[in-house]
């Protein structure tokens, strides 16, 4: 059971047949469906598309030189004359420069513009001049911020006496009080190398990050070294109550006292040696009074 709708091109123009399944009967029927008409492009749209790009950019940059005719068309204002900028005329190149013009380094456009062969500047190869720029910049900044290389050696892995995690370090700053604590992390990032110290202030655990090459850091000293080498790179377990080192103020105070006594003893020895070797110098008189 199927029916067909009779249609001709004259009666139903632009019609297509679409097969659809009949719900009542197990058969198909042809249904006429009007096809979609192609979009009609208006003449104004064509004019807008055909407008040169340079004219459109000039109109957007200098709208005072144009006036609107309708919504989508513009014309120059009366009295305004738009002229194109012409390129300079090419100068003939003399015959004697013909062999030179065959070289690879000659810029043809500039040579024809000025009438003589002009060589283009050779491009520098960064791989030859500076094969590793990051390492070069890091070395320059390190030499500028650490001229004596003392801090670099203090945290270098190849130094057997370098500072390690678990040591008690004392950081002196140009502004503010010094801070001492257990080093629980060393982050080696070249010029951004930093250390994490954990201490106590008013019985409260405090952690401070310090960049070793910072101009605000005046000095870093090793107060006490760990009894054993730590088996971890980051001692984060020291944040727990069971493994927390606590206050290190007593250890730092004892270290500073020993350092002061050693400095005083050395200074006294130098003064005694100077007195023995040179003796007391005679004071010069002022001369006779007249």
CA 99/CA 85 separation, integer angstroms: 33
Q: What is the predicted pLDDT for the residue at 20? A: 42
Tell me the domains of the chain and their CATH numbers. 139-262 (2.30.30.790)
pLDDT in tens, 188-214: 999 999 999 999 998 899 999 999 999
CA 224/CA 166 separation, integer angstroms: 9
CA 74/CA 70 separation, integer angstroms: 7
CA 156/CA 188 separation, integer angstroms: 9
pTM: 0.51
pLDDT in tens, 67-116: 888 877 888 888 777 666 666 667 788 888 888 888 888 888 888 888 88
Q: Any long-range contacts for 25-28 (C-beta under 8 Å, 24+ apart)? A: 25/1, 27/1, 27/2, 28/2
Helix (H) / strand (E) containing 141:
helix 133-145
pLDDT in tens, 141-158: 999 999 999 999 999 999
Structure tokens, 222: 């090793």
Burial readout 180-191 (b: 16 or more C-beta within 10 A, e: otherwise): bbbbbbbeeeeb
Structure tokens, 29: 């029927």
Bridge pairing between strands 15-21 and 28-34: antiparallel
CA 243/CA 239 separation, integer angstroms: 7
Bridge pairing between strands 168-173 and 66-68: unpaired
Q: Select the highest-mean-pLDDT range: 11-20, 165-174, 256-265.
A: 165-174
């Amino acid at each position: 059971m199927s029916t067909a709708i009779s249609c001709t091109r004259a009666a139903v123009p632009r019609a297509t047949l679409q097969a659809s399944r009949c719900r009542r009967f197990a058969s198909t029927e042809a249904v006429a469906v009007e096809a979609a008409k192609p979009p009609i492009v208006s003449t104004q749209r064509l004019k807008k598309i055909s407008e040169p790009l340079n004219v459109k950019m000039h109109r957007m940059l200098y709208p005072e030189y144009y006036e609107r005719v309708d919504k989508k068309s513009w014309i120059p204002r009366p009295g305004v004359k738009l002229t194109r900028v012409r390129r300079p005329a090419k100068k003939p190149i003399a015959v004697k420069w013909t062999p030179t013009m065959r070289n690879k380094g000659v810029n043809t456009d500039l040579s024809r513009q000025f009438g003589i062969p002009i060589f283009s500047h050779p491009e520098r190869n960064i791989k030859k001049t500076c094969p590793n720029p990051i390492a070069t910049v890091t070395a320059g900044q390190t030499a500028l911020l650490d001229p004596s290389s003392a801090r670099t050696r203090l945290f270098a892995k190849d130094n057997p006496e370098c500072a390690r995690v678990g040591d008690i370090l004392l950081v002196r700053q140009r502004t503010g009080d010094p801070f001492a604590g257990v080093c629980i992390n060393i982050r080696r990032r070249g010029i951004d190398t930093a250390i994490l110290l954990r201490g106590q202030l008013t019985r409260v655990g405090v952690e401070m990050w310090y960049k070793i090459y910072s101009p605000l850091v005046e000095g870093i000293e090793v107060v006490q070294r760990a009894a054993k080498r730590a088996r971890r790179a980051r001692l984060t377990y020291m944040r727990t109550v069971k493994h927390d080192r606590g206050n290190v103020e007593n250890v730092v105070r004892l270290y500073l006292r020993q350092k002061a006594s050693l400095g005083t003893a050395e200074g006294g020895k130098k003064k005694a040696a100077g007195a023995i070797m040179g003796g007391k110098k005679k004071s010069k008189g002022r001369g006779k009074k007249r």
